[in-house]
Structures are given as structure tokens and as C-alpha cells.
Amino acid sequence: MPFAWNLPYLSVFLAMVTAILLSVLPGAKKAYWLTVGVSAAVTIMSLVFLVFIVRADASYAFTMGKFPAPFGNEIKFGPLQGLFASVFAAVMCLSLLGGREELFEDVDEKKMGLACVMFNMILASLLVLTYTNDAFTAYVFIEISTIAACALVMIKDSGPTLVATIRYLFMSLLGSGLFLFSVILLYAITGHLLMPQLTGSVAKLMADGSYAKVIALILAMMTAGLGVKSAMFPFHRWLPDAHGTATTTSSAVLSGLVVKGYAVLLMTMYCRVFTLDTVRSFHIHDAVFALGFCGMILGSVMALRETHAKRMLAYSSVAQLGYVFMGIGLGTPAGIAAACFQILAHAFTKPLLFVSVGRLASAVGHDKQLRALRGTAWSCPLAGLGFGIGALSMMGIPLFGGFAAKVNFSTASIFGDEKIALTLFVLALSSILNALYYLPAVINIWSDRRPDAVKAEKDVTATAAIILLACGVLFLGLRFTPVMDLIVRGLELM
């Protein structure tokens, strides 16, 4: 076994050990830089692993502990998992760098170490949700990421963030409760928790037709549970408060990454355990498509009415997650691949927007009302440019990642046998709606300079983060064919 196959496990281990160490290590600055270092290290490890796994062109199950399957615990990785892990870790690192100034302002110095514990825990749970080959491990890490994500919202420790956290927490607990119940039912009818064994048992049960209703119920509960957690319409109500009030780094991490982890798990469950044929035979994918469809339109409509910049971005996340669910709802491998690409594109774009807004608002005393941000781009041109790139990508202008995502969705729908008209219609409508609120926001920040706006202080880390995130968006927009090929191959090897 080449050493590179140990890297996924080691990256999870590194993040978790750092989290445990940070709970006792003193020093706010040290904790922050250690966390940045760990996420950078995990990025490099995942990228090295990605190169090896793409060359090997295969996927492997990695057993931990001394018990082999079907008793022990496993992770399974292929090119797709490597790609997700690299992007998640990279965006995590860049979000931490981009929101540094505001993070130190918003978080009590004594509690910085604990905040960093949560960032490491989020990273670990994102990696596990991507890699895991065991349904119960997935549940445990769903709960870990719930607690860590809620803690990241409340680290600002103001009244509104506390209220947002409690709503987020209870919605999340409903979701994980549903997921747990579905996993237990699955265990009750199959006697397995490891995904390969589950796949075999589910296929057998589907073939002889017994327990078909139970499997349909399990699928519905799992979809609803993970849907609540990744803000699928109509369970999105918690998202704008939680993502809109938190500090910049938290918003970027939550909107760009955390909600995606559950969507990735849902796709793994669909493709690896249940197979798309089973999902289609119960018409679960139609429900997912319909909810994604509503989310895309209503998320944008609500963003249109918003006057607070970060809440507007949060509602836009609801719409963008609608795209992901629409892709899953197409029920074809091409649809899932398009959804994977959308996850990557949004993982770069949304943190770019949040970090840019954070920088722009620092020129006007951290007031994030759209009105207050008028003309602030002149105080910090790079952040203005970053916001522009992010907004253009969201609207689906060629050259940027969002455009490539929309192209992939359109082609996926054309090669599917149904829903072509609906998909194309909602893509067009949603692009127009996106333009309706992103374009005025861009014009707003680039309009006449405000007399009282101070020039933003120099912040090297934020500058680097904005440039790198923008590069990610441009890369996905310009070189999307190889990325798409990698995703399609990864899905075949799932």
C-alpha cells in the first residue's frame, strides 16, 4: 500500500488532535495560526493524495483498528473524495485568513483558543463526512459538526447571535434525529452499518421486494434529515439569521462548507448505498427536485428584499443550495456530477463574497447594511473587485465558476429523459433574479465615494485570501472540463 493512502486518515487525525490540544494551549494568536497551519497542511496532504489517486484511477477502502469489515470502521476514498477534501480544506484556510481582523475583534481574546477548537472540529467533520464508509460514524460526525457550527455562530456572543444559534441548533437537532432514526431502521432491516455491506443487503431486499416500504421511508427520512441540515427549502428559515449575524470567517465557513458536507453525504448515500435506480423507483428524486426548484426561486426573491449585505448573501446561499438539490433531483449521474461541481464553485464564491463584504465594511465601522456600504469599494479596491467577481460568478457570467456550473446543469438536464424544460426555465429565471440583487449591490459599492469612509487598513492575509479565492472561481470557470471529467470518473468509482 503506498504511503499516500494513509493521508486521508492522517488529515482527519491531525485536525482532531489539534482541536484537543487547542483546548488546553493558551494564547489567542498561537491558536489562530496553528489552526491556519493545520488547514493549510490538510490542504497540501489532500492535494498530494489527489494527485496519487488520480494517477491510480481507483478507489480504496481503508480499514482502521484491527477488526476488518463487516465489524470494523472504514473510510473509502477515490478521486471525488480527494477533490472535495482539498477544496474544503483550502477554503477553510482562506476563510480563516480572510476574516482574521474581524475574528480578533469579535471574539474575546480568552476564548479564541476555544473558537479555534471548533474550526478544527468543523474541518475534521467535513473530511469525515466526505470520506466515511460507515453510516453510524457519519451520524456521530454530523452531531460534532452541529455543535461546532453552532459554537461558531455564537462566538460573537451578542444577543442576536445567541437567538440565531438556538434556532439553528434546534433545527439541526431535528435533522440529525431524523438521520439517526433512518440509520437505525436501516440497521434493523439489514444488520449492517458499513456501506458496502448495506449496498448488498439493500440490493437483495429490493430484488425480492420485501421491506420496500421501509426502504422508501428510510430514504425519505434520510433525505429530509440531511435536507434540514443543508437548508433545503422549506427548512431554510434558520440559515439567514445564523449565517448573517456571525463573524465573517464563521459566515464564510458555514455558508461555503458546512452545509455542503451534508449534501455530499446525501449523494454518497444515494450513489453508494441505495443506488440511483432505487431512489428513482420511489420518486424521492422528484421531491428533491421540486424542493430545490422552490429554493432557487424563493431564496433569490427573499435575497431581493434584504437590506443587510450579509443576510442577502445568506439568502443567496439558500438559492445556490437549491441548485445542488436540483442537480441531485435530476436523478442521473450527470445531474449528481453537476451538483458536485456546483458545490465546488459555491465553496469558492460565497466565502469570497463574505470576506470581501467583511473588508468593505471595515471602512465604515463594520456596518453591513447595503446602504452603509455605498462607495466603500474605493476605500478597498481589491475587496470591491473580489465582490464583483463573486457577484458575476453568481449571475452566471462566462469566465467564472458559476457560469460553468450552470452549463453543467443544462447539459445534465438535456441528457436526462425528463425535466429538461423545467430545469432550463428555472436556471434562466434564477440567473435573472441573481442579477437583480447582485448587480445593484455591485453598483452600490462602486458608486460615489462616501466622505466619511476611512481608507481600509492594510491587511495582507485578507488580500491574499481574496486573491486566492478569486483565482479558484476563475479556475473553475476557465478549466471546468478537466474538473468535470474528474468528478464524473470519481462518481463512477464511488
Give the interface with another protein as residue ranges (CB under 8 A).
71, 136, 139-140, 143, 146-147, 150-151, 154, 157-160, 162-163, 165-167, 169-170, 173-174, 177-178, 180-181, 184-185, 187-188, 193
Among all chains, which residue has been given the C-alpha cell 481503508? 62
Q: How far is the CB of 325 from another protein (least distance, A)?
A: 21
> In the complex with another protein, which residue's Cβ is closer, 142 or 257?
142
> In the complex with another protein, which residue's Cβ is closer, 39 or 172?
172
> In the complex with another protein, which residue's Cβ is closer, 147 or 436?
147
Give the whole-angstrom CA distance, residue 126 versus residue 211.
32
Among all chains, which residue has been given the C-alpha cell 463594520? 366
Q: How far is the CB of 31 from another protein (least distance, A)?
A: 20
Give the whole-angstrom CA distance, residue 259 versus residue 135.
18
> In the complex with another protein, which residue's Cβ is closer, 174 or 435?
174
Sequence-distant (6+) residues with CB within 8 A of 281 are 206
Give the whole-angstrom CA distance, residue 489 versus residue 165.
39
Q: How far is the CB of 124 from another protein (least distance, A)?
A: 15
Q: How far is the CB of 366 from another protein (least distance, A)?
A: 15
> In the complex with another protein, which residue's Cβ is closer, 4 or 184?
184
> In the complex with another protein, which residue's Cβ is closer, 170 or 425?
170
Sequence-distant (6+) residues with CB within 8 A of 3 are none
Q: How far is the CB of 165 from another protein (least distance, A)?
A: 6
Q: How far is the CB of 218 from another protein (least distance, A)?
A: 13
Residue 353 has φ and ψ, to the nearest 5°, of -65, -45
> In the complex with another protein, which residue's Cβ is closer, 71 or 425?
71
> In the complex with another protein, which residue's Cβ is closer, 35 or 161?
161
- Cα end-to-end span (Å), the chain: 20
> In the complex with another protein, which residue's Cβ is closer, 143 or 492?
143
Q: How far is the CB of 122 from another protein (least distance, A)?
A: 15
> In the complex with another protein, which residue's Cβ is closer, 138 or 319?
138
| Chain centroid offset of residue 361 CA | 24
Closest by CA position to 86, among listed 121, 120, 124, 45? 45
Give the whole-angstrom CA distance, residue 360 versus residue 265.
35
